[in-house]
Amino acid sequence: MSKSKRPGPFGPSSNTSKPAAPGKSGRGAPPKAAKGKAPAAPREKKPVAEAPLDEKLQKVLARSGLGSRREMERAIEAGLVKVNDRPAHLGDRVTPDDAIFFKGERVQVRTQVSRQRVILYNKPEGEICSRQDPEGRRTVFENLPALQGERWISVGRLDYNTSGLLLFTNDGELANKLMHPSSVIDREYLVRIQGAVDDEMKRQLVEGVLLDDGVARFTDIVEGAGEGRNRWFYCVVMEGRNREVRRLWESQGVKVSRLKRVRYGNIFIPSHVRVGQWIELNDKEIRDLLLTAGIERPKVSRLTPDERKRMERQEKRLRAGVGKRSPAAKQKKPRAPKDS
């Protein structure tokens, strides 16, 4: 994918077509009846269908900030959810009158998220994307800002040895939409390859390679810096399969020595957000992200004056190079090309 084809950050185009001009009779004036014809009878308005009172259980749990829909489906299957003191099952639907329990604690059901929040985290190598690790390794959640009555939900995952762009949100529905294959959101990675890479190998990787979980492919591969047997490449995938980028390259007999995600949809890592730091998206950026996810007419709650000041202070700290960084980011790593 050449740089000239890359979309600008947070900038999908919108439909700007103009509405039809009003008739000569003026706004609100009834149209004149044709001579010799009786005026047409007014059309009856069709009754508007009311929204159902019940919703899928996993959708309600996800909206409450407990995790993505997929995570909640796994929790239901594992017997961690009860509805009105009975074990829940996949396919259950609930109403506002039902009492829902998650891991023994009652869930405070919300009809909607208080305010959609999204943060971008520049993940370092050496952190996992789980909330807890039996081996005691650092997790990406340890360096995120605290939430009151909510929790951050990871939009996809990155491997322990993979760095780069990782999104978090407090809205489980948004997280599910961003991760679902039907949204067709591309992810771009910068990868350093050890081994010989020729045009035939790149052609096979673009056309498709059979992996253990089916056929996978890159939609684009562009050469970066480097010479000989240690070269950098930009590659794009449309799915979020486990270790997909590494497995694709390794299927060709070469080794991935460094891997960094540099783009998710229309979002890039800002230059002032160093490895191990995070920044919160503003209203416009969240609205554009919703459009990227296929959510039409997105409704985004505006920031309060205090929230806006807090975000401005955070960005000033990052630009000044004094923002807090994850301990894992302080370990010295080989530098990627400057245009990453």
290-305 residue pLDDT tens: 888 888 766 666 777 8
133 is catalytic: no
87-104 residue pLDDT tens: 999 999 999 889 999 999
Distance CA 309, CA 330 (A): 28
1-49 residue pLDDT tens: 444 344 433 333 333 334 444 444 334 444 454 555 555 555 555 444 4
Compute φ and ψ for 328, nearest 5 degrees. -65, -25
Look up residue 333 and give its DSSP letter: -
Q: Give the pLDDT mean for 191-220.
A: 94
Q: Give the pLDDT mean for 123-144.
A: 92
Confidence class of residue 340 from pLDDT cuts 50, 70 and 90? Answer: very low
Distance CA 167, CA 175 (A): 9
Q: Do 316 and 200 form a contact (C-beta atoms < 8 A)? A: no
Given the residues 54, 85, 92, 159, the one annotated as active site? 159
What pLDDT was estimated at residue 70?
83
Kindly write down the DSSP assignment for every residue of 83-141, as one continuous string.
ETTEE--TT-EE-TTS-EEETTEE----SS-SS--EEEEEEPTT-BSSS--TT---BGG
Q: What is the largest CA-CA distance in the chain?
A: 88
Q: 252: which 2 tokens? A: 């060709």
Quickly count: other Cβ atoms within 10 Å of residue 126's Cβ: 17
Q: Tokens 């929230």 appear where?
A: 307
48-89 residue pLDDT tens: 444 457 889 988 888 777 777 888 999 999 999 999 989 999
Q: Do 173 and 180 form a contact (C-beta atoms < 8 A)? A: no
What pLDDT was estimated at residue 9?
36
Task: Assess whether pLDDT exceeds 50 at residue 150.
Answer: yes
Look up residue 329 and give its DSSP letter: G
Confidence class of residue 140 from pLDDT cuts 50, 70 and 90? Answer: very high
According to DSSP, the residues that pair with 161 across neighbouring strands are none
Percent helix / strand / coil, the chain, rounded to 5: 25, 25, 55
Q: 215: which 2 tokens? A: 């056929």
Task: Assess whether pLDDT exceeds 70 at residue 326.
Answer: yes
Quickly count: other Cβ atoms within 10 Å of residue 331's Cβ: 12
Task: Assess whether pLDDT exceeds 70 at residue 333.
Answer: no
CA angle 101, 102, 103 (to 5 degrees): 115
What pLDDT was estimated at residue 12?
37
Q: Which of 270, 281, 286 is nearest to 319 (CA)?
A: 270
Percent of the chain having pLDDT more than 70? 78
